[in-house]
Structure 1
């Protein structure tokens, strides 16, 4: 199906939302680090000695799935499932720092087979998964990676359910594991297409005899306090913990906007126990609901992990899965039009922020910038040309549109972009703030930033118009001038 701009934003947020939740929960897994509830940060550590912002097995295994689904392969077929299985083996061969018990046992066994024998690998993995199910093992290791499966057939809920079940059963064939993945993947699909959070949407996709039990489990998640869902290594409790965190924090936030993401992730982590997994599960669904434009940019720029991926790579995998388009943004080499000249004028309220155009991405044109905030789409070569240090090139999903539907939560995105500029300045960076031509997006975020650092709106607006040499108007500009900070 052809996605709208808003649906594309939401599809792009699934893997990135998962990665943010995962990396945010890593430091606190099973009490690895003390946690003040509501103050989880990307500090690294955890059970595997992870780097700050590094995701764990949850997102690594999701990436294995996404690298296959991004090719357009049918995840209900043996060829695609064998490719996913081979990805899991590749990951375990790299000796990951943190692996769940059930997954570790299965993958280490399978890894002893010849890696080019894909059919044998798939058959053995299924055999071991069935054996684990026969022993009543129902861990959360399939649920933690299922979010991206919600993107494989956005116009076909039955096919989505079949794919979720097939991928889950590779390592977790127990019916509770399979059902949890069907429900969560369908919730992701619904969030992307319809912009709503509903884990009951897939109940009719389950065998009739199991629906009543899942209704009860979901009711518990919505009526008990989130802290009651620990321990949560069991797939049902992990499902309940993630949904409880989202549901308990929705309330006014559903109307207010994307701050719900941070509230829900902090609540998920505060539950304790398997913090990275519960937050990863929640993050995938939150990303599907609020999109890339509703995920905190300062966190998104920091996440990274196996296999040598960063946030924009996850966005690319998610979009390729959802749209089946190969070579589109963000995989394209360049997004520059070539029609604009370098600008890079100092922000009137802070000379350490340079207001520029796409032409300023070439560092040779202006070597002063040590960090970049891109408000328009950039390609892989554009990022390389800017030559910013890792984590210092930030991409903001901001649409240049006067339509009320052009941006999901325009004020939130403008505030978030301004806060990221401020954070980079606090880190000592000279920031190039740019879009295509510095007509709307660049001055609007510059105005939001000026207000954030204490300049009154009218003064900031007048001064920015003066340095850019033109009057500025439109929805983005007026929102930046009048929105609450």
Structure 2
């Protein structure tokens, strides 16, 4: 039985936010030409948008992953027909008003002769037989949440593979689509559980007769140009392109020393440089890369802009991811499901001060967030907040919650320097936008030496 540690929760959030970030950054480039000169700065400016998508808005990739994530976050067994029926029902509701439903998915949902998982699977089989194939990449683009399920179970890997295959078959009947989704979900599961992926363990979750083929496909992608897999709307090339992007970013699946914030940015960059189905390849790659590096390695500028159906952002995705990996069990303090967190036992929670060099920055303890001065219009929080802790008048994209664990253990915050610099940079960005911002610090950390690292930005005490 695996204990759900803060490190596992950190990587689970990374998988979901990483996938959505890849989706949101790749969205405006979908079906366009290759752009080998594209460079990402790891800032909000990378979320450019276009005539169809707002900057940072996710597409069908994440929209279809969310019902799976929600089911897992409520503790439902994703292999159960009831859970799969709820997922299908949510997909149909979304598809009725969506602007980007995949051709095959739309045909399956439209052709259902019932409203449960069995009806969806039967419709998928008919669509497959009519067209002679159903190997689109839609089965994999939404699969990251399945990798978070069953984390505490001894037979979790095998059960994740089975549940993923069944969920893939709700719209994609072909073996390749189901195998690809199962393999990628298992890789994410292993990454979240162990912090690394041994490919032999991941491949062992596939049917024995097809393992060697998939091993060869990934070997072909290792070291290849992600754009060389030209038909990336096809599930095989989509997975190969995503795997190639992960490796092009410098991530070695087994070497944790390569699981860095810089590598994550390079992975997303490699994925969005390609032509055709850019957002889906970036979402697939971002899910695995995010599971390896963890949520704190994902630039806050990207997280700040991220949003999409049904009106969620990075903060909500993070909470759902942690709930999912915990099997739907909320934490004792209310961070995952509560409106407010109880910090009554903490000292320093009422502290507040105006920055000595910039009166547009107010630094305070966590208790100050609920009743902010009226002229504060942005928040950067270094401690966990309840769902309604930040005043409703502050727009979601102006409220940033940093992943920071209040622990002296060096392993608790694996990207500490990056996180602190990102927090300071975000305050600076708010000030550049002429916003008056507040920064909350964990009372137990108030005044500790690491905060001095941020003084060079001129926006932090």
Q: What TM-score do you get using the length of structure 1 for normalisation? A: 0.86
| Residue segments in structure 1 that go unaligned for 5+ positions in a row | 465-485
Partner of 2:305, secondary structure, is coil
Pairwise CA distance, 1:446: 5.2
Counterparts of 2:170 and 2:29, CA distance in 1: 28
Q: 1:200 to 1:276 in 2, by over 3 A?
A: farther
| Alignment partner, residue 185 of structure 1 | 185
1:101-130 Cα offsets, whole Å, 9 max, x none, are 1111112233xx6xxx533xx333112212
User: Paired residue for 1:348, among 346, 351, 356?
Assistant: 356
Match in the other structure for 1:431: 437
CA drift at 1:408 = 1.7
1:400 matched to 2:406? The reply is: yes
Task: Please state if 1:127 is matched with 2:122.
Answer: yes
Match of 1:255 in 2: 257
- Which of these residues, 301, 306, 328, is aligned with residue 303 of structure 1? 306
1:376: which partner in 2?
A: 383
Q: What are the superposed Cα offsets for residues 284-338 of structure 1, whole Å, 9 maximum, x if unpaired? A: 1122112211111111121111112121221122122110244442321111414
Q: Give per-residue Cα distances to partners, 1:395-449, cap 9 Å, x unaligned.
A: 0001222211121221121222222222222221111111232x52676675333
Report the equivalent of 1:2. 3
Match of 1:143 in 2: 140
Which residue in the other structure is 2:418 paired with?
A: 412
Take 2:72 and 2:370, find their aligned partners in 1: how far apart are those partners?
34
Structure label with greater radius of gyration: 1
**Is the 1:254–1:260 contact (alpha carbons within 8 Å) kept by the matching residues of 2?**
no
CA contact (8 A) 1:435 1:442 kept: no
How many residues end up aligned between the 2 structures?
A: 443
Question: Is the CA contact 1:184–1:199 (under 8 Å) kept in the aligned structure 2?
Answer: no
- C-alpha distance in 2, partners of 1:334/1:270? 42
Cα shift at 1:35: 7.9
Within 1, Cα distance between the matches of 2:340 and 2:364?
17
Does the CA-based 8 Å contact 1:28-1:34 persist in structure 2?
A: no
- 1:56 and 2:59 matched: yes
2: CA distance between counterparts of 1:274 and 1:124? 29
> Within the alignment, does 1:451 sit opposite 2:456 as a pair?
yes
Q: Distance in 1 between matches of 2:390 and 2:227?
A: 42
Answer yes or no: is the 8 Å Cα contact 1:342–1:359 preserved in 2. Answer: yes
Q: Is the 8 A contact 2:320 2:336 kept in 1?
A: no
Runs of 5+ consecutive residues of structure 2 not aligned to the other structure: none
3-state secondary structure, aligned to 1:394: strand
Contact 1:72 1:324 in 2 (8 A): yes
Deviates more, 1:122-131 or 1:55-64: 122-131
Asked if structure 2 preserves the Cα contact closer than 8 Å seen for 1:357 and 1:435, the reply is yes
Whether contact under 8 Å (1:303, 1:311) holds in the other structure is: yes
* Contact 1:373 1:394 (8 Å CA) reproduced: yes
**Shift of residue 342, structure 1, vs aligned partner:** 3.5
CA contact (8 A) 1:375 1:442 kept: no
SS at the partner of 2:431?
Answer: helix
Q: How many Å separate the matches in 2 of 1:191 and 1:90?
A: 32
**Which residue is 2:337 aligned to?**
331
1:152 to 149, 153, 159: 149
Looking at structure 2, the residues matched to 33 and 26 of structure 1 have their Cα atoms a distance apart, in angstroms, of 14
3-state SS, counterpart of residue 402 of structure 1: coil
Taking structure 1 as reference, are residues 292 and 441 closer, same or farther at Cα in structure 2, changes over 3 Å only?
A: farther
1:201 pairs with 2:204 = no
Shift of 1:185: 0.5
Deviation at 1:251, TM superposition (A): 5.4
Distance in 2, matches of 1:75 and 1:226, equals 31
Is contact 2:377-2:394 (8 Å) kept? yes
Q: Which structure exhibits the higher relative contact order, with contacts defined as CA atoms closer than 8 Å and separated by 6 or more residues?
A: 2
**What is the DSSP-based 3-state SS (H/G/I as helix, E as strand, rest coil) of the residue aligned with 1:30?**
coil
Give the secondary-structure state (helix, strand or coil) at the position aligned to 2:249.
Answer: helix
1:83-98 equivalence runs, <5 A? 83-93=86-96, 95-98=97-100
Supply the RMSD in Å over aligned alpha carbons.
Answer: 2.3
